[in-house]
Every structure is written in C-alpha cells, then in structure tokens.
Structure 1
Amino acid sequence: MWGKAEIVFEPGRLGRLYQQAPLRVLFPDPPDGEPIQAALVTTSGGLAGGDRLELSARAAAGAVGMVVASAAEKIYRSTGPDTKVDIGLTVEKGAWLEVLPQETIVFEGARLRRSTRLDLAADARAMVGEMLVFGRTAKGESLSQGLVHDAWEIRRDGRLIWADALHLDGDIAAKLKAPGGFGGALACATLVLATPRPMILRDGVREMLDGRAGATVVGDLLIVRWLDEDAARLRKSFGTVWAMLRHEAAGLPRRLPRIWEI
C-alpha cells in the first residue's frame, strides 16, 4: 500500500487537500479558539512490510494549522521489506504549524523507517512530536528483533539547524535493557518546538517533568524527550507538556483535541 496526504493551510481556511488511501484526512469541527484541525486516519488499521505513507503539510504565510493523529499507528511484523513513513512539513512567514502524534506501536519483527523534515521560514513557529512504543506492551510483549530507524531534519531559512536519528536493529531487546541504552524503557518520545526565546519555556517544562525525561535548547529549538517503562504514563506527560507549550508559544487554548483524548 502507498498512502499519501497533502495538506495546505491558508489564513482562516484550508487551501489544498489531496489524499490517497489508506491515508485519509478528516476535519472535525474545532472548538472556539482553535485552528483548523486535520485528523489523520490510516484506514487499513496498520502498516506491514512494504507499505508506505507520505504526509506533506504546509502552513502558508500567516496561517495557523494543526495536524493530529486520530489513533495509534501499528507497524506489523515484516517478512523482509521495510515499512516507510515520510513526513515533510513546511512553515512559511509568520505561520504556526502543530503536528500532534499518537503512539507508533512497533510490533515484534516489524521494520520501520521514518523520516521527518521540517522547513521553517525565518520567523515561522512550529511544534512537532513523535512517540514510539517498542512492542505491544499492553499485552505484555516487547520488541526483540526488527528495525526502527527514525530520523529528523530541521532547517531554518534553508540552513540545517538540527538533525537526529534513532537506529535500532539486531538484538533490540539487549539495547532496550542496557543501562547505557534505554535502561529498560519500553517507550520513548520527542517533542520539538521552534519558537523565539525557548530558554524561558525550557525552565517551565523542566518543572513539569519527572523520571527519565528532560528538556534542552538548541538555537531557537526547545527539545523535550522522554523514556519510560510505562507507555500510558509517558503519553500522559507528553500531552500535559504539549498543552502547556501550545498555549505559551502560540496563544492557543491549553488543551488537546478531543480526538486525541479519546
């Protein structure tokens, strides 16, 4: 399967939408004070080896938009081919783009390659995140074999300002257990906020975090990361921090979309 979605937000309205199954985009009525919300749905119920998803989202000059996952994404066992997810985000002059994920659950034997590219104009702002769960932890399963390659690139005015990649293969179980690796964590998450004066927000985030989580600043990026043995606890902390930051950085209500809370 090869699913695609292209979304363009313009000031006060949706400028363009293209979608190709199994990736679909819904537009729930947002509460007062909220921007247009594009909710992503994978109609196949999950992705297997050889499947591919491509998401392109752009906030045109002066636009405010939000892309939110409607449910956790499941990456099923592969017989060999990789499952590929490519995310390309563009935020133009004076715009704000929010891309709120739900968990990506990597099943035993799955092979996931995901890339996220964010291109920002000089004064553009954005908040983007990801959450990974290693195995069907709700069923007592964990990931021991397979592939997880999750890469980020962020550019400001065409200049690379941050790049990062997580790569797990071979004996993944040992790496998840290793004190110098994940130290027993079965879930991780990353939140990246591009905003002026991120140092002020960093201190507020640090006060909200406990356990194995931290926040740092790289240039005008605030980067928050979590490791946890409990995926539900990680999700709760991630959502709480996200709601606070969208309010402080973009003046939006301190809440999450209803579809995310279900």
Structure 2
Amino acid sequence: MYDGTSPSEAGVSGRGMASPGGGLRDGRIGLRLRAAEGRTGGVTRLAELDQAAPLRCLFPTVSKAEPLTACLTNTAGGLVGGDRMSVAVTVDPGARVLVMAQAAEKLYRSKGPDVRLDVSLSAGEGSWLEWLPQEMIVHNRARLRRVTRLDLNPGATVLAGEMLVLGRTAHGEQLTEGLIHDAWRVRVGGRLVWADALHLEGDLAEAIAHPAGFGGAVALATLVAHAPDGAALALMEEIRERLAASPQVRAGATEVGGLLITRFLSEDGLALRAAFADIWGYSRQALGSYAPVLPRPWHV
C-alpha cells in the first residue's frame, strides 16, 4: 500500500535553511521510513526528515500501486567547488520506498576545491529500497569526490544506481582536466561484499579516448541489485539479453558477493539513459512486482 504522508506529519527538521549564496554549502538530507503495520507489508510512513539547504525532499503523489516516493532536489541549481552534501536514507524493516533525484545535477568548474558527496543507504529486513539517480553532468575542470555506502540486511531488496555524463555534450564540450573519484562500499549483514572506485585525474581527455579506458564513451552508469535468496542473480541472463539489444551501449552484468552489478558505457547520453531505464524497469517488476516503468518526474 501507499501512504502520502507529508513531512508535517512526521518528525521534520529544517535546520540550516538560510540562503546558500556566497560560499561553501553544507547540504544534507536525513530520511527514515517505517512500516506502519508490522515488519512486512502495510503502509509505509515518513518517520524522520532532517534537511538543510540547498537540499530538499519532496513527496509527489503517485499511484497506490507504487512505493512511497521521495524526490530529492538541489535548490541551488548545481554544485560548485567546496560544496559538501550528504544524504542518509534508512528504511526500517518492512518499509518500501523509492528515493529519486528530481533532475539532472550539474557539477561546475572548480578553481581548486573538491565537491564532496556522501550517500549512505540502509535497508532493513523485508524492506524495499530504490535509489534512482538522474545524470550528473560534469563540466570541464570540475572536481568530484563521491562515496555511496549501502548497509543491507540479507532480507532486503535494493536497487541502487548512479549515472555520470562527462562534459556538456550538447554543447560539444570535452573534458580535458579535473577530478572524478566515485566510490561504492556495500555491506550485507555487516560484511563488506563489494568495494569499487573510479578515479580520473589530470588528463581526462586521454582516459576518455583511450581504448583501455572509456574508448570514447562520455556517459557511464552503475546499477546494483540485491534481493533475498539470490533472486537478483536469477535476472542476470535476461538482463544480458536486454543489454545486447542496445547497440549504442556497451554494458555487462555480473555477480559480486551476492550482488548483481550492471555497468553501462555509451558515446550517447540519451542511449545510455534509455538502456538504464529499461534494465531498472525490468528489475523492479521482476523483484517487486511493480510496473516496469520509472516515475513520471524521472522522464521530465
């Protein structure tokens, strides 16, 4: 079931809501969801929300057949050097939620300081969590350090992803220098099962063009799936077949520590986005019996 609980009905804090203009910004979202009627099934309600500008959390009205949906937005319109943003999502046992980005994020050129993003996702027994990204568009000479941490109960079902577009491709921009450090840490039952990091620094154009690097790809994405009793791993062959039907995308799916990891590369950001949406839609239907489509705001 779905319950459109508004923030005013739960423990909500708006500390730090002053205007972010004029310097470094420390934005945060702290979100906890609980199942109102026991550990499995029942209505999911907002239990806690702590937010600080420029990050805000909105709750759009969705179909009753969908999980509670939280939409995260950056009211500053982008990220600049020195910004520090953190998002922490806790899904209590039995709760079901989709957390998504409202729009693509822009990472602007930096004069030196890094943008630091810290994402922490925790999913309890019998819970459902979708962490659905939109693209982060990396401008030339931008500097990014991001860590995404997942702490999962073995009985949780989780889909989590990230997407990067290297340069303002619609403007013909090519990345020549900057920093991209993008890391994942996934624990299941308290045990580290996957650690991964992409690190690009210095001559980015060479790394992007090199056959042993991205081979000319300017868009990349990762999708991590976990479900009890290896249910996510059972989707691997079907996902590989669907990926093979996307000729503009180089992609693969594999098992790591009980997780199903799907990676995407493309020279066309729109083609990658379409392939990513197809695999996500298929996975959410197969694992959660939800419609094989992404929320309407994701397509705007």
Residues 50-65 of structure 1 aligned to structure 2 (within 5 Å): 50-65=82-97
Using the TM superposition, give the Cα deviation of residue 31 of structure 1 relative to its aligned residue in structure 2, in angstroms.
1.2
Q: Please state whether the residue corresponding to 1:260 is helix, strand or coil.
A: helix
Which residues of structure 1 form unaligned runs of 5+?
Answer: none
Tell me which amino acid in the other structure corresponds to 2:269. A
1:238 equivalenced with 2:276 (yes/no): yes
TM-score (norm 1): 0.98
Which residues of structure 2 form unaligned runs of 5+?
Answer: 1-24, 36-43
Aligned-partner Cα distance in 1 for 2:217–2:298:
23
- Counterpart position of 2:232: 198
Residues 246-261 of structure 1 aligned to structure 2 (within 5 Å): 246-261=284-299
1:209 equivalenced with 2:233 (yes/no): no
Residue of 111, 120, 123 corresponding to 1:91? 123
Residues 119-130 of structure 1 aligned to structure 2 (within 5 Å): 119-130=151-162
Residues 163-174 of structure 1 aligned to structure 2 (within 5 Å): 163-174=195-206
Larger Rg: 2
Tell me which amino acid in the other structure corresponds to 1:138. A
- In proportion to residue count, which structure has more strand? 1
RMSD, aligned α-carbons = 0.9
Using the TM superposition, give the Cα deviation of residue 163 of structure 1 relative to its aligned residue in structure 2, in angstroms.
0.5
Cα displacement string for residues 67-111 of structure 1 (whole angstroms, at most 9, x for unaligned residues): 000100111000000001100000011111110000011100000
Given that 1:5 and 1:20 are in contact with CA atoms closer than 8 Å, whether structure 2 keeps it comes out as yes
1:16 equivalenced with 2:48 (yes/no): yes
TM-score (norm 2): 0.86
Using the TM superposition, give the Cα deviation of residue 199 of structure 1 relative to its aligned residue in structure 2, in angstroms.
3.0
Divergent runs of 4+, >6 A: none
- Counterpart position of 1:152: 184
Tell me which amino acid in the other structure corresponds to 1:197. A
Q: Please state whether the residue corresponding to 2:282 is helix, strand or coil.
A: helix
Given that 2:231 and 2:287 are in contact with CA atoms closer than 8 Å, whether structure 1 keeps it comes out as no
- Counterpart position of 1:223: 261
Aligned-partner Cα distance in 2 for 1:65–1:95:
8
Residue of 22, 44, 52 corresponding to 2:76? 44
Residue of 28, 42, 54 corresponding to 1:4? 28
Q: Please state whether the residue corresponding to 1:209 is helix, strand or coil.
A: helix
Identity of aligned residues (%): 50
Using the TM superposition, give the Cα deviation of residue 197 of structure 1 relative to its aligned residue in structure 2, in angstroms.
3.1
Using the TM superposition, give the Cα deviation of residue 248 of structure 1 relative to its aligned residue in structure 2, in angstroms.
0.4
Using the TM superposition, give the Cα deviation of residue 198 of structure 1 relative to its aligned residue in structure 2, in angstroms.
2.9
Q: Please state whether the residue corresponding to 2:77 is helix, strand or coil.
A: coil
Aligned-partner Cα distance in 2 for 1:222–1:31:
28
- Counterpart position of 1:176: 208
Aligned-partner Cα distance in 2 for 1:126–1:198:
9
